[in-house]
């Protein structure tokens, strides 16, 4: 049974932006990320997943039940979804405890259960001592955690977080990251962000949105491996009188080396960029080839694609496909 599933969902918003034929399925707890540059569907998809608006086509399923089967069904499912917006805007004259109580009443949670959930939410977010504090008096980090506490009321199975680290300074980010990681062990957490670094650090799965379409949704390591067809490396050599062209030729003759190019010079040291079919055995083979000429290997450093590289490649491929279809 899928906890959350979209089947060919489409929606055209009042400003003309369109979510186009999006499908994905989430079957277990964890942290799932959706990346988009600018207005590429991030907030639009988050809005749909919250049940805040109807869809034009397709199906949205929560535990195999259609979210929009009826108004009663939609209202019931919406209670099991928590939402944290990118901007923490609260009624400043309320205390944190009053805010959580108001949310519990709005979700029609009975008084005893509501009190337990408020206590648990405050404990989980480290705000137990702030229940009587006016919201306006909370620090930026505390306000962000208050938004998480508010989203936990109703004991939702799914929590949607738009820009998880927005308005948080670097000194407070670790607190929020730990909170997100803890929630991911208990619930389905969906992160929507313009920062690929945040998603790569926090998520097990990543979705890439572009132009209202979902270009990919898969484990981050598989997403990286899919486009990481060669292994990149930077080789730093000290020629010691050997012609650089000879060194390049010797390295190029190695079977595992697909490409070798000069990359730069720093004093007596030259940088070469290598693209290899595999990482295995390359270090020793390159060292032997260079040293046999009388030159010296200073360092050989391998690197792989970052999520941002994969996103750029997917977006470029999607744009090219759209041009070919025109």
Task: Give the integer Cα–Cα distance in Å for 297 and 288.
Answer: 9
Cβ contacts of residue 93 below 8 Å, gap of 6+?
Answer: 134, 136
Task: Give the integer Cα–Cα distance in Å for 246 and 150.
Answer: 66
For the stretch 16-59, pLDDT in tens is: 888 888 999 998 999 999 988 766 678 888 888 988 888 999 99
For the stretch 71-102, pLDDT in tens is: 889 888 988 999 998 877 788 789 999 999 99
CA distances from 297 to 80, 91, 283 (A): 59, 63, 10
pTM of the predicted structure, to 2 decimals: 0.72
Asked if residues 237 and 298 have their Cβ atoms less than 8 Å apart, the reply is yes
Domains of the chain: 4-225 (3.40.50.300), 229-303 (3.30.70.3190)
């Amino acid at each position: 049974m899928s906890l959350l599933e979209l089947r060919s969902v489409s929606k055209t918003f009042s400003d003309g932006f369109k979510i186009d034929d999006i499908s994905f399925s989430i079957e277990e707890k964890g942290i799932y990320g959706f990346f988009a540059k600018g207005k590429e569907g991030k907030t639009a998809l988050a809005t749909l997943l919250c049940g805040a608006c109807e869809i034009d086509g397709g199906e949205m399923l929560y535990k195999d039940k259609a979210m929009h089967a009826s108004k009663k069904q939609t209202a019931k499912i919406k209670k099991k979804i928590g939402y944290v917006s990118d901007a923490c805007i609260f009624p400043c004259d309320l205390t944190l405890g009053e805010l959580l109580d108001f949310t519990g009443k709005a979700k029609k949670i009975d008084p005893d259960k509501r009190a337990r959930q408020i206590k648990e939410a405050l404990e989980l977010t480290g705000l137990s001592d702030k229940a009587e504090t006016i919201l306006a008096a909370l620090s930026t980090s505390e306000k962000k955690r208050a938004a998480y506490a508010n989203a936990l009321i109703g004991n939702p199975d799914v929590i949607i977080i738009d820009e998880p680290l927005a308005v948080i300074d670097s000194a407070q980010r670790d607190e929020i990251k730990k909170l997100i990681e803890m929630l991911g062990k208990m619930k389905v957490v969906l992160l929507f962000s313009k920062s690929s670094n945040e998603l790569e650090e926090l998520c097990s799965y990543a979705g890439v949105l572009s132009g209202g379409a979902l270009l990919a949704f898969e484990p981050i390591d598989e997403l990286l491996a899919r486009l990481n067809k060669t292994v990149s490396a930077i080789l730093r050599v000290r020629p010691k009188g050997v012609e650089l062209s000879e060194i390049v030729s010797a390295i190029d003759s190695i079977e595992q080396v697909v490409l070798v190019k000069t990359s730069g010079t720093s004093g007596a040291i030259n940088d070469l960029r290598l693209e290899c079919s595999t990482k295995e055995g390359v270090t020793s083979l390159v060292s032997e080839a260079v040293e046999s000429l009388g030159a010296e290997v200073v360092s050989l450093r391998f690197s792989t694609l970052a999520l941002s590289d994969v996103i750029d490649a997917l977006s470029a491929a999607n744009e090219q496909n759209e041009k070919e279809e025109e």
